[in-house]
Chains A and B, each alone.
Chain A
Amino acid sequence: MTTSRRRFLSTVSAVTAGGLAALSSRAPRFLLESAAYGAETKGEKILVVVQLSGGNDGLNTVIPFGEEKYKKSRPSLAIDGAGGVVKIENGYGLHPSLRACEKLLENRQLSILQGIGYPNPNRSHFESMDIWHTAHTKPSRESGWLGRCFDAHKDTLAKAIDPPGMHLGEEVQPLALAARDLPAPSIRSLEQFRLETGGDDQQRSVITSATAAPRAAGNDLLKFVQTRATSALDLSRRMQASGTGYKTTVSYPETPLSQKLKNIAHLIDAGLTTRVYYVSIDGFDTHSDQAGAHASLLDQIGGALAAFAEDLAGHGQLDRVMTLVFSEFGRRLQENASRGTDHGAAAPVFLVGSKVKPGLVGKHPSLDDLDDGDVKFHTDFRSIYAALLEKWLGWPAGPILGDMWKPMECLA
């Protein structure tokens, strides 16, 4: 990262013929500022959000296998202690398909925040997802919690080379990223970070040198585009340098979620200044025959999270990347007549990284104290957001979330 920044800076200096010092009097302001930005950063903290769409069954994710009531409520779906549950502590464990998370627990890289939700739970997918995305229980579709951060810090963020937020995927962009001033792009493939020349290296070098050649003074906007173009070509070169793909010894599972996280690891390693990445995985609305479908989804999540953490650690990036895994709601305790579960309320949230408070955090919600058949939340999701903003991304939470949310003690 720092090396590439230096290379970027030297390009800027070369372009302006005489170095940054010579620039100072008449240089476009944003050039100097973006250079300063590049010089002091050693890699800012990054947040990766993994959205589980459809309402993940929290009770079969963090399983209270020691509790009779759980077994009774779920005649076909209950998984007992002998059924391969990944045991965490007395009576609680992860679904067997989250086996890959065992290593994250051992490495103290997984935090399982229990009983997360908000007052008067909304059981509509659309509305509850909006609540999570906007961090308002009466959401307006205007801006998301992350988008509001981008706007609040637009003066700094707009100077960085890359957009502050990025969504990877083909689905509609999540509202969480919606900003009024600094929109986040949706990226469908990493090909969008490669200059295509059909293998013609000469063409590539013509474009690169023609882009870097000095330009006449007098058009700051052109200079701005030139600086970004030079940096984009440098990024493309770095992305390409790894040959057919990103160099990693970690074997990511062949699932869409894993491949997206792998792409994010690649972008982070290539030195993008993006602070927030967003991906989602759909299919959690398991109203019927839940067992197989849910197991397969959890298997994808466990495999992807474990590979991603291992890969980031291998590239020395895990210390600055935090992954948040959430769903719009959990599911009902009592299984339904179709061997599935219906929309519920509170559920666990995962954080993955080297700076998390590891293991189970907070009490598992009581199965005896239900609200309309659903377990109750004891910790508002906005206190997790507050912690991520204040203690991770370094952005004051008050202006974004309102002042009533104290950061949850979930980071180490």
Chain B
Amino acid sequence: MPLNQKLPSPEEAWLPFEPTAAQPFGRREAAHLFRRAGFAANSRELDEAVKLGPQMAAKKLVAAEEGEFAGKMHSFAQTVLATNNSQTLAAWWLHRMLHTPAPLLEKTTLFWHSHFASSSAKVTDTRLMFNQNELLRRYALGKFEPLVMGIARDPAMLIYLDSATNRKTRPNENFAREVMELFVLGIGNYTEKDIQELARCFTGWEIQYGAFKFNRYQHDYGSKTVLGKSGNFDGGDSVKVLLEQPATARFLCGKLARYFITDESDLSPETIEPLAQKLRASDYTFAPVLETLLTSRLFYSQASLGKKVRSPVELGIGLLRSLEATAGLPQITDQIRELGQMPLFPPNVKGWPGGMAWINSSTLLGRANFVRQLVQDNDTLFGGISLEAYIDKLGWKTADQVVDSLSEILLAVPLPKDVRSQLVAQIEGGRDSRLTKLKKTVHTLGSLPEFQMA
């Protein structure tokens, strides 16, 4: 890929990426799409995507349906909920990410989980966390307004924010503050007075016995002024006022761009603006916006390729999905937690900070050890067979083929030449069995800085 390739201007950024001889849509680019829009892809999926081309491949991800899988997961969840064990529910979610036929839906649900963060550490009724998770999934690619309204009535969220009661004589500002700061508008786009007025709109919105209830005796029916608009607003009206603010679409698109395009916050407001306009024009519907994003020139530019740090979930589930590996779920869940991202347990209402914050000494070593443990465990199967048989089946015979194909699948950034030769030499030389050598190659690749990038 040419270095110093010019980044697309704000006008060009969101135009569809059209492959050229100089910048083709090959397996590496397809792998980029799947790493961002899902949890990485295996060799067969990459071949299919390359045939479809970038536009169709992204459309397919946006349109993917869960089908029977949804029902299966639902009944699986009921068994888990009977035990009220939040750790097991987290494992259930990871299982879902691992096997879903609609990875973008799941990836976006995870985005909303960090955006509308609530934690099982405080919400001890696991069923409430499950219901919230279903809510996030229902609207993940759909409309924002019903999503926000759902969150405003969501027992898990209101319990998490100490907002299960909100009386007219003493409005609870906690939820209103997070709506302004973290959920809808973003910091700097409102005043303290707006928060107080918004809190009044939500008075009487209560949680009783784990369910939402509107208590009309506690609702303040007086006139409120939120962001310059006045009226006898209730919660729903006030959300409409917030969605009219241009800052809302900018804030959400900025966050989507950080999640799907790059951790580095140097995307200019001018670059974000066209996407924000698209979000407003679609009445805040996410599917078309994500399709634009995932097919854009910006998405396939140097501003995006290899410019994200893999989260622990992306790393763990991605490794398993890209090699079709199956391993013990409780163990995987445990390891992903140790790497710093336990689903259903975000660190606070701001969600996981992501990016460079994933990386420290213990998590980097933990990531390498995770890969080793997975490949060294004799119970781990790859496509139902051993790693050696799996690689043979894919037709990767020579050491060069093995290193190049594995790199293509596992790494977001190509290996430096001499590292590549070192790995090839490791397979060609030595007295280890081929299986041992292949395991070591995956372990080494999975320990390198390139593997930490998404």
For the complex, give the distance between the alpha carbons of A194 and B348 in Å.
28
Please tell me if A181 contacts chain B, counting CB pairs below 8 Å: yes
- Whether B353 lies near A207 (C-beta < 8 A) is no
- Whether A183 lies near B347 (C-beta < 8 A) is yes
For the complex, give the distance between the alpha carbons of A228 and B448 in Å.
11
A183-B353 CB under 8 A given contacts A207-B368, A210-B444: yes
Q: Convert B416-443 into 0s and 1s, putting 1 for each residue whose CB lies closer than 8 angstroms to a CB of A.
A: 1011001100100000000000001001
The residue from A197, A215, A220, A225 contacting B264, defined by CB atoms under 8 A apart: A220
Distance (whole angstroms) from the CB of B3 to the closest CB of chain A: 5
Please tell me if A182 contacts chain B, counting CB pairs below 8 Å: yes
Please tell me if B96 contacts chain A, counting CB pairs below 8 Å: no
Please tell me if B302 contacts chain A, counting CB pairs below 8 Å: yes
- Whether B419 lies near A162 (C-beta < 8 A) is no
How many residues belonging to A are interface residues under a CB distance threshold of 8 Å? 54
- Whether B448 lies near A211 (C-beta < 8 A) is yes
| Chain A residues with CB under 8 A of B121 | 172
- Whether A192 lies near B413 (C-beta < 8 A) is no
Please tell me if A213 contacts chain B, counting CB pairs below 8 Å: yes
Residue among A140, A158, A172, A232 with max Cβ neighbours from chain B (10 Å): A232
- Whether A203 lies near B419 (C-beta < 8 A) is no
Please tell me if A161 contacts chain B, counting CB pairs below 8 Å: yes
Please tell me if B20 contacts chain A, counting CB pairs below 8 Å: no
| Chain A residues with CB under 8 A of B306 | 219, 221-222
A235-B361 CB under 8 A given contacts A140-B162, A224-B356: yes
- Whether B449 lies near A192 (C-beta < 8 A) is no
A222-B359 CB under 8 A given contacts A185-B340, A203-B443, A210-B419: no
- Whether A198 lies near B376 (C-beta < 8 A) is yes
Please tell me if A401 contacts chain B, counting CB pairs below 8 Å: no
* CB neighbors of A among B345-381 (8 A): 347-350, 353, 355-357, 359-366, 368-369, 372-373, 376
Q: Convert B1-41 into 0s and 1s, putting 1 for each residue whose CB lies closer than 8 angstroms to a CB of A.
A: 00110000000000000000000000000000000000000
Residues of B within 8 A of A (CB): 3-4, 121-122, 162, 174, 263-264, 302, 306-309, 338, 340, 347-350, 353, 355-357, 359-366, 368-369, 372-373, 376, 413, 416, 418-419, 422-423, 426, 440, 443-444, 447-450, 452-453
Beyond contacts A140-B162, A195-B369: 20 other A-B pairs, Cβ-Cβ < 8 A, are: A140-B174, A183-B340, A183-B353, A192-B338, A192-B362, A196-B368, A196-B373, A203-B443, A206-B423, A210-B444, A211-B449, A213-B418, A215-B416, A220-B264, A221-B308, A222-B449, A225-B452, A228-B361, A229-B452, A232-B362
Residues of A within 8 A of B (CB): 140-143, 158, 161-163, 172, 178-183, 185, 187-188, 191-198, 200, 203, 206-207, 209-211, 213-222, 224-226, 228-229, 231-233, 235-236, 272
